[in-house]
Amino acid sequence: MTHLQDFAGRSALVTGAASGIGAAAAKALAARGATKLFLVDVDGAGLDALDIPGEVHRITGSVADEALWADLEPRLTGLDHALVNAGIGSGGPIASISFAEWRRVMDVNLDGAFLTLASSLRAMGTGGGSVVVVASVTGIKPVPGIGPYGVSKAAVAHMARIAAVESARKGIRVNAIAPGGVDTAIWESGEDFAASVAAIGREATIKAMAKTTPLGRFATSEEMADSILYLLSDAASNISGHVMVSDGGFTL
């Protein structure tokens, strides 16, 4: 019997694949049998550095670029799985950030997620499939100082729910995951994080932030990838429109 979390013979799209959660998910998909991967990121060098077996298509560019999707979508026909993961951080209170900064974040985190999701759903057609959109606990629990990021993540979580309803009769499941603290490079854009790193160092800053969660630690990208692959897999065949919170208890 085929294991329910086996991706043998499947194709998958992963955005934000050059590092962090995206890279961990891409590696995990390949390790569990996925035979064709489409990996998208603005960091071409990071994509090239990934050591992943099988048929791997590395696409360098912004997920917010319509031309990228116009070129890539025909190649995605028959797609089985998609991870809508690319995103950027933001720092500063809502009252003090510029509109340009607001749009910079929304361009990637919301518009880019829309373009990725829409292209993926069209590529899957009526053949079924599964999608996971990476949201954030900052889209559930208000966190000061990163307003545009939190708003964008609340929006993509609801976009996933809407897509789940619209796509259900085509056999396509759409879910979201809302990570809490994960030690990835996205923290570097936060003003408070940068100030703390300057004062006490990065490792001490991460440890201090982790104390705000009941479990007292940050998750790893590999842990997030395991949860994402569960939602993408046949083991979650009756789950759609769900936002899985994986935050060590932060939102309690």
154 alpha-carbon distance from chain centroid: 13
Number of other residues whose CB lies within 10 A of the CB of residue 244: 17
Report the pLDDT value the prediction gives residue 211, as an integer from 0 to 100: 78
Report the pLDDT value the prediction gives residue 224, as an integer from 0 to 100: 94
Tell me the average pLDDT of the chain. Answer: 92
Please check the confidence at residue 1 and state whether its pLDDT lies above 60: no
106-134: b or e for each residue (b if 16 or more CB lie within 10 Å)?
bbbbbbbbbbbbebbbebbeeeebbbbbb
User: In sequence order, which residues have a C-beta less than 8 Å from that of residue 71 and are 6 or more positions away?
Assistant: none
Could you give the dihedral angle defined by the CA atoms of residues 252, 159, 36 and 25, in that order, rounded to the nearest 10 degrees?
A: -20
Phi-psi region of 78 (alpha: psi -120 to 50; beta: other; left: phi over 0): left
Question: To which residue do tokens 């899957």 refer?
Answer: 124
Extents of the domains making up the chain: 11-183+220-246
0.85 surpassed by pTM:
yes
Give the tens place of pLDDT for each residue, 158-215: 999 999 999 999 999 999 999 987 776 665 656 666 676 777 777 777 777 777 889 8
8 A C-beta contact, residue 227 and residue 83: no
Reading the block at residue 93, the tokens are 């209170």
Catalytic residue among 7, 38, 69, 149: 149
Q: Percent of the chain scored above 90 by pLDDT?
A: 75
8 A C-beta contact, residue 158 and residue 225: no
Q: How confident is the model at residue 131 (pLDDT cuts 50, 70, 90)?
A: very high
Q: How confident is the model at residue 56 (pLDDT cuts 50, 70, 90)?
A: very high
Reading the block at residue 51, the tokens are 């050591």
Lowest-confidence pick of 33-37, 48-52, 144-148: 144-148
Read off the pLDDT of each residue in 102-127 and give the average, rounded to a whole number: 98
Report the pLDDT value the prediction gives residue 48, as an integer from 0 to 100: 98
3-state class (DSSP) for residue 39: strand
Topology of the domain comprising 11-183+220-246? Rossmann fold (3.40.50)
Number of other residues whose CB lies within 10 A of the CB of residue 74: 9
Report the pLDDT value the prediction gives residue 250, as an integer from 0 to 100: 87
Give the DSSP H/E element, type plus range, for residue 109.
none
8 A C-beta contact, residue 182 and residue 136: no
Reply yes or no on whether 230 is catalytic: no
